[in-house]
């Protein structure tokens, strides 16, 4: 029977994962763990590295949540003005075939990028943020993009989501409760890992007519493994 990792074991595993991830300098990141909640501290040279460290921590079994307190500070000579960042954001959006760049406006203030405008689905909203987060000089991203309202049949959307869950989350649909109303989807239930949770949220982001997702999924790796045996 599986037993849960204690906080020290989780800390060691997160540290190893940060060391393994070539996008992150492990020595830049401090790690503390309390009851499965990981806090990351320190300074990194880009917002992309901050997000990469967060993703690395989430990949570790036993991690329930991550508090990302990493600060972004560009090294000497690599800073960018807000104007330069804004120009880079526009070029990046123009070259990205996954986003409707003509409907997206950006504002840059002290390195923070605010995205406003409209997209067709939640997947495009996420793709737009992902496109700009790794640009030099970006301190963070405020994603205020709105998903266009579409007519939707709640039962049809629920069916599409449950089919996607069965394909992408190892047939976990029976453990996930899906509620659909007025373009809003609420997900509740237990999953085994952050990767499984991301697969579920990714499936929902492509569903037509979905504008908002309320995520109430809980990561319960050891309980689920025990009940499956």
Domain boundaries, the chain: 7-72, 82-147, 154-228
pLDDT tens readout for residues 53-92: 999 998 888 888 899 999 988 766 567 899 999 999 999 9
If one looks up domain 82-147 in CATH, what number appears? 3.30.1340.30
Mean pLDDT of 98-110: 95
- pLDDT value, residue 5: 80
- pLDDT value, residue 20: 87
How does residue 9 score in pLDDT terms, banded at 50, 70 and 90?
Answer: very high
Give CA–CA dist 148/151, Å, rounded. 10
Q: Is 151 exposed, middle or buried (0-12, 13-18, 19+ CB in 10 A)?
A: exposed
Give CA–CA dist 60/22, Å, rounded. 16
How does residue 170 score in pLDDT terms, banded at 50, 70 and 90?
Answer: low
Topology of domain 154-228 in CATH is: 3.30.1340
More confident residue, 171 or 206: 206
Do 7-72 and 154-228 have matching folds?
yes
Question: What is the percentage of the chain residues whose pLDDT exceeds 70?
Answer: 88
Tally of CB atoms within 10 A around 37: 14
More confident residue, 220 or 13: 13
Buried b or exposed e, range 77-108, using 16+ CB within 10 angstroms = eeebeeeebbebbeebbeebeebbbebbebeb
Question: What is the percentage of the chain residues whose pLDDT exceeds 90?
Answer: 40
- pLDDT value, residue 1: 38
Mean pLDDT of 114-130: 93
CA-CA distances (angstroms) from residue 198 to 55, 76, 215? 11, 36, 11
More confident residue, 120 or 26: 120
pLDDT tens readout for residues 143-163: 999 998 877 777 777 777 777
- pLDDT value, residue 149: 81
- pLDDT value, residue 2: 44
7 has which bridge partners? none
CATH 3.30.1340.30 fits 7-72, yes or no: yes
CA dihedral 69, 74, 79, 80 (to 10 degrees): -30
Buried b or exposed e, range 205-226, using 16+ CB within 10 angstroms = bebebbbeeeeebebbbeebee
- pLDDT value, residue 165: 67
């Amino acid at each position: 029977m599986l037993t849960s990792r204690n906080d020290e074991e989780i800390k060691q595993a997160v540290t190893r994962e940060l060391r393994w991830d070539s996008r992150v300098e492990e020595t830049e990141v401090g790690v503390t763990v309390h009851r499965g909640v990981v806090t990351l501290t320190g300074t990194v040279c880009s917002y992309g590295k901050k997000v990469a460290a967060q993703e690395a921590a989430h990949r570790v079994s036993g991690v329930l949540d991550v508090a990302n307190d990493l600060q972004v500070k560009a090294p000497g000579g690599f800073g960018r003005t807000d104007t330069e960042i804004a120009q880079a954001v526009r070029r990046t959006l123009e070259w990205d075939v996954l986003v409707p760049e003509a409907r997206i406006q950006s504002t840059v203030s002290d390195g923070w990028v605010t995205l406003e405008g409209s997209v067709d689905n939640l997947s495009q909203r996420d793709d737009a943020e992902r496109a700009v987060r790794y640009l030099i000089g970006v301190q963070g991203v405020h994603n205020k993009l709105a998903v266009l309202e579409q007519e939707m049949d709640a039962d049809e959307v629920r069916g599409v989501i449950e089919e996607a869950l069965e394909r992408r989350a190892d047939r976990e649909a029976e453990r996930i409760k899906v509620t659909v109303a007025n373009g809003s989807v609420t997900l509740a239930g237990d999953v085994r890992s952050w990767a499984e949770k991301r697969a579920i949220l990714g499936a929902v982001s492509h569903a037509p007519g979905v504008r908002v997702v309320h995520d109430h999924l809980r990561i319960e790796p050891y309980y689920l493994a025990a009940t499956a045996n």
